[in-house]
Chain A
């Protein structure tokens, strides 16, 4: 069977000592930023992106992927012990996880979260390995028109599934695309929006935007809120869940894995959506829903499995279609481009060792994570007592070094200051930065494919609706928009009411 041969190739790459070391480094860093509130995988990956230039491409991607799914493990620790989501995807884990900790069952909650994540991670990686090749096969039949429609679908799905205001998310995408167009026009070389600056000829650096809007903006916002936190320091005892716990949890883990994998594949999905959906599902299916919020173990097991499954399967659109489905995946595009790899279906054929090595490394990484998060949990708990006032200057130093070293350019660092200001403004006016990032990454590709498609069709825009694949993607996008528009109105109204 092909799959086995491919996985064998993958493991031959992932199991070299060099790559195991990078995988380990990635998951340790991921757990670290997952545990620490105030810094997430997006900022971390952006920070390390320039440095990965000095590594082998496969090792670099293995490490960066490890940061993302490692953060899903780490986030649960903080949620359970401190009642603070270390990551956005652990928000719902706080509800029941912290209650379990208060009842002296922190150990059981942590163990179920880690074991559920491990199971989910292994299954989702298998799904990734099975479904990626046929999808990539399909993607090979795409012409410029299909690729353009696919990107439209990806962007539409990303805004409709994201939380917050729909129209602002669309505007952020458009702004992102415009920022992506800065630099020399790819066809005729005409300078666009460069203000006569030679440093902008190649466009605005991807890392510059990501660090500015995610890392700098976030730090200022955290300082404004004053994030001194109370740490739950009591010892974690009794790590092993009881028989009763297992009986309640295993079905929730299965369901969480399913729902998380499914929602992770969708553009705009990823880890966050799955964890919310799983919590709601568990609450609905429970015989006694009133236990939820008071330390129900299913409320930890389901969402934690779902977020890890989602983190893993969200690699599918990136690796098969070349479309990033969330901000982390947008950064992965950046990482691949730094190494001269154009993300898309051809990666699987041209660089099989890279593709399958990365997938195989996810099993290795998940195994490492269970070890890191169960026997060594005490270490991470101690880490929670590092105050934010010492953490953020260190993050800033690493960001500065990262931005500068990408092109050895002080101009880039200065530009990041501007984007940092913009990032803070975005937070204050309620604009999510993730759609901007997606637009920024996809913008140049969209323009290129639009131009090609229109040239081929001799200026006839109907090409997008007469080709069946392109039409069906646009239809799905339209349906998604339609579904969301009405509830979006309701949702924003609800938000307004909550302000009272």
Chain B
């Protein structure tokens, strides 16, 4: 039923667009397995989700800024500019969502969740360890954890890289440029 509705909606726009619409439906079905009915109605998935993100940020800006003094046009308070922008962003987000519903566009595609998690985790580990355990431990953690999702992880290679990066961190950054890093854990 959803698919029919989509076809009907695109009919007045001519044959080309209809084809594109069908392609988008095909690809979104292909990529969002388990998306159900909603996936059929979203024709430009990238736009749809981008719009949602912008609405989210816009509403957040309006909500958090609700108590900031607004002032007047002549004497703008701290709330004036952010509230106007929050409003604009929400409206733009809404338009982009509608565009995503109406106009066929590229799908979001599969998400690389594991690489994303490991890369970001490696940076977070650096933040956690650098001041307590020192730069050597922090550099080793970043290198090893971030290398895990490379698709061709080899311990020997990664350990050599750890040694090179650690030497660089201590030799160039700590000793050479005088950055205040603690080197050893103790």
Is A167's CB under 8 angstroms from B127's CB?
no
Q: How far is B49's CA from A268's CA once the two chains are assembled, in angstroms?
A: 26
Q: Which residues of A contact B169 (CB under 8 A)?
A: 397, 401
Contact with B along A156-195 (1 / 0, CB 8 A): 0000000001011011001101100100010110101100
CB-contacts of B6-23 with A (<8 A): 16-17, 19-20, 23
Quick check: is B179 within 8 A (CB to CB) of the other chain? yes
Say yes or no for A455: interface residue by CB 8 A criterion.
yes
CB distance from B109 to the nearest CB of A (A): 7
Distance A309 CA – B69 CA, assembled complex (angstroms): 48
B141 → A minimal CB distance (Å)? 10
Residues of A within 8 A of B115 (CB): 220, 223-224
**Would A220 and B88 count as touching, CB distance under 8 A?**
no
Chain B contacts for A455, CB-based, 8 A: 74-76
* Stretch with Cβ within 8 A of B (4 or more), from A246-254, A297-305, A374-382, A413-421: A413-421
Mark each residue of chain A from 388 to 401: 1 if its CB lies under 8 Å from any CB of chain B, else 0. Answer: 11101110110111
Contacting pair B151 A396 (CB below 8 A): no
Q: Which residues of A contact B124 (CB under 8 A)?
A: 413-414, 417
Q: Within 8 Å of chain B (Cβ to Cβ): is A364?
A: no
B66 to chain A, nearest CB (A): 12
Sort chain A's interface into a size bin.
35 or more
A223 to B178, CA, bound (A): 34
Q: With contacts A178-B82, A181-B81 known, is A190 near B76, CB below 8 A?
A: no
Determine the distance from Cα of A495 to Cα of B95 in the docked complex, in whole angstroms: 19
Q: Judge whether B161 is part of the interface by a CB distance below 8 angstroms.
A: yes
Give the residue of B23, B92, B179 whose beta carbon is less than 8 angstroms from that of A170: B92
Q: Give the chain B neighbours of A220 by CB distance below 8 A.
A: 112, 115-116, 119-120
Measured between alpha carbons, how far is A175 from B58 in the docked complex, in Å?
8
Determine if A51 is an interface residue (Cβ-Cβ < 8 Å).
yes
Known A216-B123, A400-B126, A429-B53: A192·B68 in contact at CB below 8 Å = yes
- Residue of A with least CB distance to B46: A430
| A165–B47 touching, CB < 8 Å | yes
Within 8 Å by CB of B105, from A226, A461, A495, lies A495
Complex CA–CA separation, A454 to B96 (angstroms)? 31
In the complex, are the beta carbons of A54 and B178 less than 8 A apart?
A: yes
In the complex the two chains form, is B20's CB within 8 Å of A500's CB?
A: yes
Residues from chain A with Cβ under 8 Å of B146 in the complex:
392-393, 396
Q: Does B77 contact A (CB under 8 A)?
A: yes
Contact string, A449-489, partner B, CB cutoff 8 A, digits 1/0? 01100110111110000000000000000000000000000
Q: Mark B61-89, 1 if CB is under 8 A from A, else 0.
A: 10011001100111111101110011011
For A416, give the chain B residue with the smallest CB separation: B123
Complexed CA–CA distance, A407 and B64 (Å): 27
In the bound complex, residues from chain A placing their C-beta under 8 Å from that of B150 are 223, 388-389, 392-393
In whole angstroms, what is the CA distance A458 to B128 when docked? 51
Query: Given that A497-B16, A499-B106 are contacting pairs, would A397 and B157 also be in contact in the complex, using a CB cutoff of 8 Å?
Result: no
Known: A168-B96, A430-B47. A421 touches B109 (CB 8 A): no
What 1/0 flags go to A198-220 for Cβ under 8 Å of B? 00000000000000000010011
6 A–B pairs (Cβ distance < 8 Å), ordered by A: A185-B78, A394-B143, A405-B173, A417-B123, A429-B50, A497-B19
Known: A181-B81, A390-B157. 7 other contacts (CB 8 A): A178-B82, A181-B85, A192-B78, A393-B147, A430-B105, A447-B81, A499-B20
Chain A residues within 8 Å of B, Cβ to Cβ: 51, 54, 165, 167-168, 170-171, 174-175, 177-178, 181, 185, 187-188, 190, 192-193, 216, 219-221, 223-224, 226, 228, 387-390, 392-394, 396-397, 399-401, 404-405, 408, 410-411, 413-414, 416-417, 420-421, 424-425, 428-431, 447, 450-451, 454-455, 457-461, 492-493, 495-497, 499-500
| Minimum-distance CB pairs A-B, first 6 | A459-B74, A224-B112, A389-B150, A413-B127, A185-B78, A459-B73
